[in-house]
Structure 1
Amino acid sequence: MGLWTKFLGYIKNYKYSFLTFIPLLVLSYLLNGKMFFAVINIASLFFLFNILAKTKYTFLVSSILVIFITSDIVYYLLYSSSMYVGILSSIMETTPKESKEMFGELYIWIVPVLLIVIFLVVKMLGELKRNNLKRIYAIGAFIGITFVLIPVYLFVNLSRDKDVQIQALYANNPLLWSQTVISSKFPVVYNDIAIYVAYFTERIKINNLLSSHKEIPEGLSPDSTAQVVERIYLVIGESSFRGHYSLYGYDVETTPFLDSLKNNTDQLHYYNAISPAPLTRDAIRFSLSFGTPLDQDAFFTKKNIIELAKDQGYETVWISNQERVGSFDNYTGMLASSADKTFFQTKHELYRNDLDLIKELDSYSKPSTKQFIILHLAGSHMPYEYRSDSIAEKAIPLHNTVNVTKYDRTIHYTDRVLKEIYDYSIKNDKQSIIYYFSDHGESIGKGHGLINEGIEQFEIPLVVINNNTEIAIDSIVNQYMQPQLNVINNVNSVYILAEILGYKVSRNLIDAGLKEGRYIYHVDGRAYLFNKLK
Structure 2
Amino acid sequence: MTVTERVATKRAAIDWAGLGWMFLFFWYFSGVTQLLIQLTGTAGFAGFRQAFLLSALWLVPLLLFPARARLLAAVLGGALWLCSLAGFGYFLIYGQEFSQSVIFILFESNVSEGSEYLAQYFAWWMVPAFLAYGLGAWLLWRQVRPVYLTRPVALLASLAVLFASVGYPAIRQFSKHDDPLAALENFEERIEPATPWQLVVGYRQYRTQLANMQALLEGSKRIAPLQNLQDAHAGQPATLVLVIGESTNRQRMSLYGYPRQTTPELDQLRDQLQVFDNVVTPRPYTIEALQQVLTFADQENPEAYLSTPSLVNLMKQAGYKTYWITNQQTITKRNTMLTTFSKQADEQFYLNNNREQNARQYDGDVFEPFAKVLADSAPRKFIVVHLLGTHMSYQYRYPQEFEQFTDRSGVPDSVSDDQLPTYNSYDNAVRYNDHVVASLIKSFAASDPNGFLLYLADHGEAVFDAPKDEVLGRNEAAPTSPMYTIPFIVWNSPRWQAAQPRDVSMALQRPYSSSHFIHTWSDLAGLRYAEFDASKSLVSAAFKPRPLLIGNPEQPQNLIDFSLIRPKTVIQAADLVQAAPPAAKVKAGAEL
**TM-score w.r.t. length of structure 2:** 0.51
1:238 counterpart = 2:257:
no
- Paired amino acid for 1:304: S
Find the counterpart in structure 1 of residue 482 from structure 2.
Answer: 456
Partner of 1:316: 322
Measure how far apart 1:452 and its partner are.
1.4
Aligned-pair CA distance for 1:360: 1.6
Alpha carbons 1:306, 1:335 under 8 Å: kept? yes
Q: Matched residues in 1 for 2:532 and 2:273: separation?
A: 30
What is the correspondence of 1:290-369 to structure 2 with a 5 Å cutoff?
290-325=296-331, 330-348=336-354, 350-369=359-378
RMSD: 4.1
Residues 74-473 of structure 1 aligned to structure 2 (within 5 Å): 210=219, 213-216=222-225, 221-224=229-232, 230-262=238-270, 265-325=271-331, 330-348=336-354, 350-369=359-378, 370-394=380-404, 397-399=407-409, 400=411, 401-444=420-463, 446-467=472-493, 468-469=496-497, 470-472=499-501
Quote the Cα distance in structure 1 between the aligned partners of 2:553 and 2:532.
30
Structure 1, gaps ≥5 residues long = 1-62, 73-87, 101-202
Which segments of 5 or more consecutive residues in structure 2 lack a partner in the other structure?
1-168, 194-211, 412-419, 465-471, 538-542, 566-572, 574-592
- C-alpha distance in 2 between matches for 1:316 and 1:382: 29
Deviation sequence 1:434-471 (CA, Å, 0-9, x none) = 10000101111621244113122111010111113133
Local SS of the residue matching 2:297:
coil
Query: 2: CA distance between counterparts of 1:433 and 1:225?
Result: 13
Identity of aligned residues (%): 22
List per-residue Cα deviations over 1:243-277 (Å, max 9, x = no partner).
10111111111111111122xx3444333210121
CA distance in 1, matches of 2:276, 2:517: 13
In structure 2, C-alpha distance between the alignment counterparts of 1:268 and 1:460, rounded to whole Å? 14
Deviations 1:340-376 (A, max 9, x none): 0111124427111101110121233335422111111
Deviations 1:395-433 (A, max 9, x none): 665543222211111111011001211221122134331
Equivalent position of 1:518 in the other structure: 547
**Alignment CA distance shift 1:395-1:471 (3 Å):** farther
- Shift in Å at residue 229 of structure 1? 6.5
Distance (whole Å) between structure 1 residues aligned to residue 372 and residue 352 of structure 2: 16
DSSP-derived class of the 1:277 partner: coil
Mapped contact 2:248–2:390 kept (Cα < 8 A)? yes
* Cα distance between partner residues in 1 of 2:452 and 2:349: 21
* Distance verdict in 2 for CA 1:436–1:486, change over 3 Å: same
Rounded to whole Å, the distance in 2 between the matches of 1:378 and 1:225 is 32
**TM-score of the two chains, using structure 1 as the length reference:** 0.56
Instruction: Report what 1:5 is aligned to.
Output: none
Distance 1:462 1:92 in 2: 36
Instruction: Give the direction of change, closer, same or farther, for the CA distance of 1:71–1:249 in structure 2 (3 Å limit).
Output: farther
Q: Which amino acid aligns with 2:481?
A: I
Match of 2:518 among 482, 486, 494: 494
Q: Name the CA distance, whole Å, in 1 between partners of 2:237 and 2:523.
A: 11
Matched residue type, 2:525: L
**Cα separation, partners in 2 of 1:490 and 1:472, compared to 1, 3 Å:** farther
- 2:216–2:340 CA contact under 8 A, matched in 1: no
Per-residue CA distance 1:322-355 (angstroms, 9 max, x = gap): 1211699732122111100111124427111101
Structure showing greater radius of gyration is 2
* Conserved? CA contact 2:327–2:350, under 8 Å: yes
Does structure 1 retain, via aligned residues, the 8 Å contact 2:361–2:397?
yes
- Corresponding residue of 1:124: none
SS of corresponding position for 1:518 = coil
Cα distance in 2 for residues equivalent to 1:336 and 1:476: 33
